[in-house]
């Protein structure tokens, strides 16, 4: 096959993958809509649940208006970026925190038998209904206390992108351990809960070793510092580091998943999609 | 173009399996001193299948059928050995190969559970990057051939197992695969649905020249669908022979199960050559018939003439019995 043929084939496949992703999201949304009441209730409850947390923070900041340079509006934007980023990632790639059970349950067979990138296919095959509530919550908080300029809007969008991708990268890495350690569902779920929890507290309340860990081993700091380093006092050094960490996590996750596929053992559990 | 659809040389697969003694003490010992042992699932399989062939890959549960099919579709990496499917190495060129093969796993659905099959058809057309016009024409043809019209708009969760399997197989034909792997496609289905599925696969082979590689523990799949049977046991090939020969030599026995309307009395069974009473309990009895000595019709009519029947089924012997027979006759 000539180089031109190869390039044309690759371009066709890239376009094909994009079309596949769009159809996948359409099908996921249709699947979620099958249970309309559940869809609206779950999304609505998550929206309210997030506001409850903000209510508690507002009580705290009523007594201590500024903590280590953070005000209530910064914490509100932290929740907007964190919940919003988690929300879009969980809507578009809803399996990102379910990789461990999928791998250890031997449910990759159908994905592996079809001609699409396995990791992307797995990630995009589920849409979390509650995540729509998280995402809308993020937008609502931005509308309430965010900076309503073009630059502010773009920085908020970048924050959502970085936050969602970091959540995905961390959980792809944690989930891919299932290829190597068997049933690592518990570990993955522990990583998930800790990471979500750490990303909802202002990065500046942590000191010394804890802070180092927050920007290295458990990089939740790159999400929880976004309201300051990206949104309030733009710091290009921090933004580049956050972008670098995002790329690193996604690349490491993809490589680990790819390496893990060689060790995949399948299984005999009955599996359904959607 | 090569006439070979797939070929394997010494294809093997082993898994590390953890052993644990029973009870809590066994679990605690296993926590500190885990014991692993190697379980050989597939043992040095050499196989060649030509294009257009219909091959049944048979064996009892745990024989290594599904593991072999998973290696041939690129799902699993082998421990050792080589395989070429349509000229490609499955686990190295998985994506390229996936465009040209189809796979149906009886226990792993590719249909979206909460949506009607028509939505899965759309998604699969994107997965295989089919042109819209080509897809719509193909879909209409498959809907017609598989008689899917009444089910297309009903969520998959509301379909019966038979209806779902018809949709599964139809979907797998959407991209015109050159080679179709069917892993236990008739598992759990009743006889009528099994028969229909066999007819549809047979038609695809006849009309489109699709090579069929089917695993099953149901001897009926082999008899009615395939021209060649490969029997696998304990991970290795036990027999590779034309189905006609196998029918003559191995599948010459049928099992008849009867439920009489009153209790069975010993000594009342009609005297028919090649018919043997296997077991009886109350109103139920089971007979084995050697078709080389007597036809199934004459046995059935003799039984109907002699007893009042509530129920009767005629079945192939179970796969385990066929394997024992093959062992007994030296393969």
For residue A36, the distance in angstroms to the closest alpha carbon of chain B comes to 12
Separation of alpha carbons A120 and A122, rounded Å:
5
* Phi-psi region at B330: left, alpha or beta (left = phi > 0; alpha = psi -120 to 50): left
Confidence of residue A10 (pLDDT cuts 50, 70, 90): low
In A, what residues contact B, Cβ < 8 A?
A: 12-13, 16, 19-20, 22-24, 27, 30-31, 34-35, 107-110, 112-117, 261-266, 268-274
- The verdict on a CB contact (< 8 Å) between B115 and A107 is no
Average pLDDT over residues B178-195: 85
pLDDT digits (tens, 9 = 90+) for A220-251: 999 999 999 999 999 999 999 999 999 999 99
The count of structural domains within chain B is: 2
**Which residue among B209, B233, B249 closes a domain?**
B249
Tell me what percent of the residues of chain B surpass a pLDDT of 70.
Answer: 97
**Which ranges in B60-151 belong to alpha helices (H)?**
65-72, 94-98, 117-127, 132-145
Section A109-116 average pLDDT: 93
Output the pTM of the full model.
0.84
The confidence score (pLDDT) of residue B272 equals 84
Minimal CA separation from A14 to chain B, in Å? 10
Assigned domain for B154 exists: no
> Which of A106, A114, A269 is the best mutation test for B, with the most CBs of B within 10 A?
A114
Are B230 and B269 in the same domain? no
Residue B6 and residue B72 in contact, taking contact as beta carbons nearer than 8 Å: yes
Are B271 and B224 in the same domain?
Answer: no
Domain containing residue B221: 4-100+177-249
Is the model more confident about B197 or about B330?
B197
Higher pLDDT among residues A62 and A87, named by residue: A87
Residue A1's pLDDT band (boundaries 50, 70, 90)? very low
* B90 interaction partners in chain A (CB closer than 8 Å): none
Task: Please give the Cα distance from B3 to B55 (Å, whole number).
Answer: 15
Any A CB within 8 A of B66 CB: yes
Q: Give the angle subtended at the CA of A107 by the CAs of A262 and A264, to the nearest 5°.
A: 15
Q: What percent of chain A has pLDDT over 90?
A: 59
Place of tokens 């000191």: A207
Report the SS3 class of residue B281.
strand
Answer yes or no: do B240 and B259 share one domain.
no
Mean pLDDT of A78-98: 96
Confidence at residue B127, expressed as pLDDT on a 0 to 100 scale:
94
Residue B205 placed within a domain: yes
Q: How many degrees, rounded to 5, is the angle at CA A160 between CA A154 and CA A163? A: 135
| C-alpha to C-alpha distance for B263 and B272, rounded to whole angstroms | 21
Q: Are residues B186 and B310 both part of a single domain?
A: no
Q: Residue B231 and residue B56: Cα distance in Å, rounded?
A: 8
Shared-domain flag, residues B185 and B306: no
Average pLDDT, chain A: 89
CB-CB neighbors (< 8 A) of A117 in chain B: 95
B45 found inside a domain: yes
pLDDT value at residue A273: 66
**Same domain for B15 and B81?**
yes
Helices (H), A229-274: 236-261
**A24 contacts B123? CB cut-off 8 A:** yes
- The tens digit of pLDDT for each residue in A22-33 reads 999 999 888 887
Task: Select from B249, B273, B299 the last residue of a domain.
Answer: B249
- Tell me the per-residue pLDDT of A139-169, one tens digit each, with 9 for 90 and over: 999 999 999 999 999 999 999 999 999 999 9
| Chain B residue with Cα closest to A18 | B126
Does B215 contact chain A (CB < 8 Å)? no
Query: Under an 8 A CB cutoff, do A114 and B127 touch?
Result: yes
**Is the CB of B36 inside 8 Å of chain A's CB atoms?**
no
pLDDT at A219: 93
H or E segment and range at residue A147:
none
- Is the minimum CB–CB distance between B128 and chain A shorter than 8 Å? yes
B207 and B270 housed in the same domain: no
The pLDDT value given to residue B248: 75
Query: Does B115 or A99 have the greater pLDDT score?
Result: A99
Long-range pairs for B281-286 at CB < 8 Å and ≥24 separation? B283/B259, B283/B310, B284/B257, B284/B258, B284/B259, B284/B260, B285/B257, B285/B258, B285/B260, B286/B255, B286/B256, B286/B257, B286/B258
**Which residue of chain B has the CA closest to A23?**
B123
Task: Say yes or no: B290 and B228 in one domain.
Answer: no
CA–CA separation, B239 and B51 (whole Å): 20
ipTM score assigned to the predicted complex: 0.84
In sequence order, the 6+-apart residues with CB closer than 8 A to the CB of B247 are B223
Q: Which of A127, A183, A274 to mutate to test the interface with B (most CBs of B within 10 A)?
A: A274
B113 interface with A at CB cutoff 8 Å: yes
Residues of A in contact with B183 (CB under 8 A): none
Segment among A45-54, A106-115, A191-200, A256-265 with least mean pLDDT: A45-54
Residues facing B258 on adjacent strands: B285, B312
């Amino acid at each position: 096959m000539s180089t031109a043929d190869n390039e044309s084939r690759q371009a066709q496949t890239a376009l094909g993958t994009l079309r596949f992703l769009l159809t996948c999201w359409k099908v996921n949304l249709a699947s979620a809509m099958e249970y309309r009441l559940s869809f609206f209730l779950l999304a609505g409850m998550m929206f309210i649940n997030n506001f409850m947390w903000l209510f508690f923070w507002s009580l705290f900041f009523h007594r201590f208006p500024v903590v280590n340079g953070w005000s209530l509006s910064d914490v509100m934007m932290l929740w907007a970026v964190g919940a919003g980023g988690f929300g879009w990632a969980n809507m578009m790639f809803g399996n990102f925190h379910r990789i461990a059970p999928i791998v250890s349950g031997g449910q990759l067979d159908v994905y592996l038998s079809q001609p699409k990138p396995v990791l992307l296919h797995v990630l995009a095959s589920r849409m979390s209904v509650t995540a729509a509530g998280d995402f809308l919550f993020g937008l609502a908080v931005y509308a309430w206390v965010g900076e309503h300029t073009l630059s502010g809007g773009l920085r908020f969008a970048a924050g959502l992108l970085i936050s969602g991708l970091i959540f995905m990268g961390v959980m792809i890495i944690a989930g891919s351990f299932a290829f190597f350690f068997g049933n690592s569902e518990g570990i993955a779920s522990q990583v998930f809960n800790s990471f979500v929890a750490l990303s909802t507290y202002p990065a500046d309340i942590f000191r010394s070793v804890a802070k180092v860990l927050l920007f290295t081993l458990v990089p939740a700091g790159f999400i929880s510092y976004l309201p300051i380093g990206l949104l309030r006092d733009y710091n290009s050094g921090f933004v580049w580091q956050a972008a670098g960490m995002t790329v690193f996590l996604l690349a490491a996750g993809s490589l680990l998943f790819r390496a893990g596929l060689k060790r995949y053992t399948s299984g005999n559990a009955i599996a359904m999609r959607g | 173009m090569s006439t070979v659809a797939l070929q394997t040389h010494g294809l093997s697969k082993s898994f590390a399996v953890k052993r644990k003694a029973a009870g809590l003490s066994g679990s605690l010992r296993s926590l500190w001193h885990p014991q692993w042992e190697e379980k050989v699932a597939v043992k040095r399989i050499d196989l060649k299948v030509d294009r257009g062939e219909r091959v049944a890959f048979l064996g009892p549960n745990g024989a290594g059928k599904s593991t072999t099919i998973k290696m041939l579709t690129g799902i699993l990496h082998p421990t050792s050995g080589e395989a070429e499917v349509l000229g490609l190495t499955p686990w190295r060129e998985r994506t390229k190969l996936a465009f040209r093969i189809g796979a149906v796993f009886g226990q792993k659905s590719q249909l979206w559970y909460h949506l009607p099959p028509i939505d899965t058809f759309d998604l699969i057309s994107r997965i295989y990057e089919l042109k819209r016009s080509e897809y719509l024409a193909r879909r209409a043809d498959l809907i017609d051939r598989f008689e899917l019209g009444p089910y297309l708009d009903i969520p998959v969760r509301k379909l019966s197992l038979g209806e779902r399997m018809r949709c599964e197989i139809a979907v797998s034909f959407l991209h015109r695969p050159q080679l179709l792997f069917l892993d236990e496609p008739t598992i759990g289905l009743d006889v009528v649905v099994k028969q229909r599925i066999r007819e549809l696969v047979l038609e695809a082979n006849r009309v489109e020249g699709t090579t069929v590689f089917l695993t099953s523990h149901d001897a009926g799949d082999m008899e009615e669908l395939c021209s060649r049977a490969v029997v696998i046991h304990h991970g290795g090939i036990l027999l590779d022979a034309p189905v006609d020969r196998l029918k003559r030599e191995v599948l010459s026995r049928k099992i008849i199960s009867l439920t009489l309307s009153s209790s069975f009395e010993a000594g009342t069974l009609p005297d028919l050559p090649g018919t043997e009473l296997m077991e009886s309990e109350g109103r139920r009895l089971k007979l084995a018939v050697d078709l080389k000595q007597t036809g199934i019709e004459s046995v059935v009519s003799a039984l109907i003439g002699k007893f009042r029947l509530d129920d009767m089924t005629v079945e192939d012997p179970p796969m385990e019995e066929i394997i024992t027979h093959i062992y007994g006759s030296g393969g």
